[in-house]
Amino acid sequence: MSGRRRVTLRDVADRAGVSFKTVSRVVNGEAGVSPELVLRVRMAVDELGYRLDPRASGLRRLDRRTRTIAVVLEDLANPFSSELHRAVVDTARDRDVLVLSASSNEDPADERAAVQAFLARHVDGVILMPTSADHSWFQREIEGGTQVVTVDRPARGVHADAVVCDNRGGATRATAHLLRRGHRRIAFLGDQHTIYTAGERLTGFRDALADAGLDPGSAPIRLDLRDSASAEAAVIDILAGPDPPTGIFAGQNLLTIGAMRALRRLGLERQVALVGFDDVVLADLLDPGVTVVAQDPRRMGAEAATLLLSRIDGADSPPALHTVPTRLIPRGSGEIRPHG
Amino acid sequence: MSGRRRVTLRDVADRAGVSFKTVSRVVNGEAGVSPELVLRVRMAVDELGYRLDPRASGLRRLDRRTRTIAVVLEDLANPFSSELHRAVVDTARDRDVLVLSASSNEDPADERAAVQAFLARHVDGVILMPTSADHSWFQREIEGGTQVVTVDRPARGVHADAVVCDNRGGATRATAHLLRRGHRRIAFLGDQHTIYTAGERLTGFRDALADAGLDPGSAPIRLDLRDSASAEAAVIDILAGPDPPTGIFAGQNLLTIGAMRALRRLGLERQVALVGFDDVVLADLLDPGVTVVAQDPRRMGAEAATLLLSRIDGADSPPALHTVPTRLIPRGSGEIRPHG
DNA sequence: CTGAAAGCGCTAACAT
DNA sequence: ATGTTAGCGCTTTCAG
């Protein structure tokens, strides 16, 4: 292959007939070089196709930044994560910072391996969607100087900024939306109860019922539903039981889809109301359209990146929980009124 | 903040009571260090929380790899791109290579800026979904030693591997699927005609018609449709015209959605057949389900990454076009037979 | 098996 | 305004 040696500052200096420090000044945009020399150096750089080596340059720099951050999300291919990821990348690019990324697959071991691979590369900071396990091992890294911001949920055992959506408020609003239309018996479908968001959404659901003078204890609540199939089964089961609900609040994306499938199968999609947490693609093309509480992953990503970058730049306010608002989007399924 | 100085090889050496070269040997897993010393060094490393600095280590290394590759896709948040991206990240991780990424927004300037930012960081290779513009500027970089693989489409003016899906074959199969059900008049909805994939799919469509003894020239073909709204309008227009088609082949994701919307609005979703290129989320929940020719972004990403990494490792077979097969998924809309 | 010396490509600190 | 020297943290090369 191309046997030609790597082009260094010195080569450029020789070609331009200046000292190599002058070249360094020019390529770093430092002031105080005569326009004539700047020009000569620039030409030599172009002719030789020279590019500053960021490793060598970072090595001696006082500010030992790599201008790189890392993002570890559950699944980079998931729409929520990929939107968030994109926002992080765009925000970082505006500040000339590059982004490395990985999926944790909701597996603490994968997550830790990914984070450690990134720390080994000396990234300036990490944006992490933490798995449900304990993260105190992480605390040590933070003390080592790497900045951390968690997204979607806070990490237990870590004193760091967290950017989350308004899970509780969104769930309350979704439930109130159903209550306002006359529903008195509303079912809740929830994710694994150990997950932070699942817990918050359940709390929001209960709050809304209590506010309406209903007993949250008597509502049909199904937790630990891991996928759309189990949500589908749960809905079919609940509706077959005594005193079936007239409305359903699905606490997560896949559960909403499962609930929809169940209602379709039972032919009840126009009888039983449904509101889901987290938006669903093409929800508006379904019939009826699916009413959801939408998160704003774009904004969450942008906020997390902005926070992280400002910490990297030295901001040192105490870590806080940052809540991004949700938005209720009525599309039909949530506006169905109770029958009978 | 933590004022403590960075921990170096020397610090570890002092602590373990050995020369710093011995530490280097241990942390690099080189053979030929007595087990006792290995142990002492390991302990010192743990106690001090030492981590090899990849910049310093790469600086002197003969193999000047950064063990980093870059991915530039149109939109990291788009389902196709994010699936592909995920596969790249996973494949690279298995080989201990990290991935930087960026979106080009189908804008040649953004694309070039992203690629150059990555080259400035001395990535070992780049996976690029090229915009429709000319890429001969890229050729120079390749000659500079950075490996390149394009995905989704080949880049004009660049002699590099390309991993694409079987656009032509998929389109032919989709069209034949409709022909086999008795359709004789089939409309084609296409993206901007300058885009490689759009051209290939149109060719595949025409091939199928010709194979069936029909005149491709007389089929209703609408090109340069940029979004679902324009596809919707096009379908409404075509169906209102004389000799309306009984089947539609939509050459892209968004166009399929637009076509679906149009059929819904006209109440023809059970009269007019529809097959789309590229899968649509929740397609199976729609009524009728949408028949599509699905691409395999996961496989494309994995293949592109594998190719790139093997080139980085020195493989030097001539660049080629790698085609990933598509899969036709019948879900209802494509199985409708012509009426009358 | 272990270590000392040289130097990767660059920036910092100090000349001039 | 330009150049000189030292040295970032590590690997290489060569010596013991």
Per-residue pLDDT of chain B (340 residues; tens, 9 = 90+): 344 567 899 899 899 999 888 989 998 888 888 888 889 999 999 988 899 998 898 888 877 789 999 999 999 999 999 999 999 999 999 999 999 999 999 899 999 999 999 999 999 999 999 987 888 888 877 877 889 999 999 998 888 999 999 999 999 999 999 999 999 999 999 999 989 999 999 999 999 999 999 999 999 999 999 999 999 999 999 999 999 999 999 999 899 999 999 999 999 999 999 999 999 888 778 889 999 999 999 999 999 999 999 999 989 999 999 999 999 999 999 999 998 6
As a whole number of angstroms, the distance between CA B86 and CA A117 comes to: 17
Residue B327 vs residues A259, B159, B178: alpha-carbon distances, Å: 28, 29, 15
Amino acid identity of residue A325, one-letter, is: P
Which backbone phi and psi does A280 adopt, to 5 degrees? Answer: -125, 130
How would residue A136 be classed by pLDDT, with cut points 50, 70 and 90? confident
Mean pLDDT to the nearest integer, A27-50: 89
Chain A partners within 8 Å of B147 (Cβ): none
pLDDT, one tens digit per residue, over B160-216 is 999 999 999 999 999 999 999 999 999 999 999 989 999 999 999 999 999 999 999
Q: Quick one: pLDDT band at residue A3, thresholds 50, 70, 90?
A: very low
Identify the DSSP state of B105: T
Q: Amino acid identity of A77?
A: A
Nearest to B119 among A51, A99, A122 (CB): A51
Rounded Cα–Cα distance for residues A9 and A24 (Å): 7
* DSSP designation for B73: E
Residues on chain A touching B76 (C-beta within 8 angstroms) = 82, 85-86, 89
Q: Which nucleotide is nearest to A60 (CA to C1')?
A: D8
Q: A172 pLDDT band (50/70/90 cuts)?
A: very high
Tokens of B84: 């592909």
pLDDT higher for A120 or B202?
A: B202
pLDDT at B4: 54
pLDDT digits (tens, 9 = 90+) for A20-30: 989 999 988 88
**pLDDT, mean over chain A:** 93
Arithmetic mean of pLDDT, A147-154: 95
Site from A48, A84, A85 to mutate, B interface, most B CB atoms within 10 angstroms? A85
User: CA B22 – C1' D16 distance (Å)?
Assistant: 15
- The CA radius of gyration of chain A, in Å to the nearest whole number, is 27
For B251, phi then psi, to 5°, come to -80, 15
| Partners of residue B324 on adjacent β-strands | B165
- Taking contacts as CB-CB distances below 8 angstroms, the residues of chain B near A65 are none
Residue A44 CA and nucleotide C14 C1' are separated, in Å, by: 27
The pLDDT value recorded for residue B340 is 61
Nearest to residue A274, comparing CAs of A251, A252, A308, A250?
A250
Closest residue on chain A to B65 (Cα): A55
Bases in strand C with any atom closer than 7 Å to a protein CB: 1-13
- Nearest CA to the C1' of D7 belongs to which residue? A60
Which protein residues have a C-beta closer than 7 A to any atom of strand C?
A: A 5-6, 8-10, 20-21, 24, 27-28, 52-53, 56-57, 59-63; B 18-19, 21-22, 25, 32-34, 36-37, 56, 59-60
Instruction: Give B194's Cβ-side CA count (13 Å radius).
Output: 9
Angle between helices A79-94 and B79-94 (to 10 degrees): 80
Higher pLDDT, A280 or A203: A203
User: Which pLDDT score, from 0 to 100, does residue A2 have?
Assistant: 41
Please write the tens of the pLDDT for every residue from A97-113: 999 999 999 899 999 99
Report the nucleotide nearest the CA of residue B59, measured to C1'. C8
Q: Which residues contact B65 (CB under 8 A, 6 or more apart)?
A: B58, B124, B312
In chain B, residues with a C-beta closer than 8 Å to the C-beta of A121 are 54, 98
Shortest Cα–Cα distance, A286 to chain B (Å):
6
Mapping DSSP to helix (H, G, I), strand (E, B) and coil, where does residue A163 land? strand
Extended beta strands in A255-306, E state: 273-277, 291-294
Task: Give yes or no for a contact between A180 and A148, defined as CB atoms under 8 angstroms apart.
Answer: no
Q: If you ran DSSP here, which 8-state letter would residue A322 be given?
A: E
Nearest chain B alpha carbon to A314 = B1
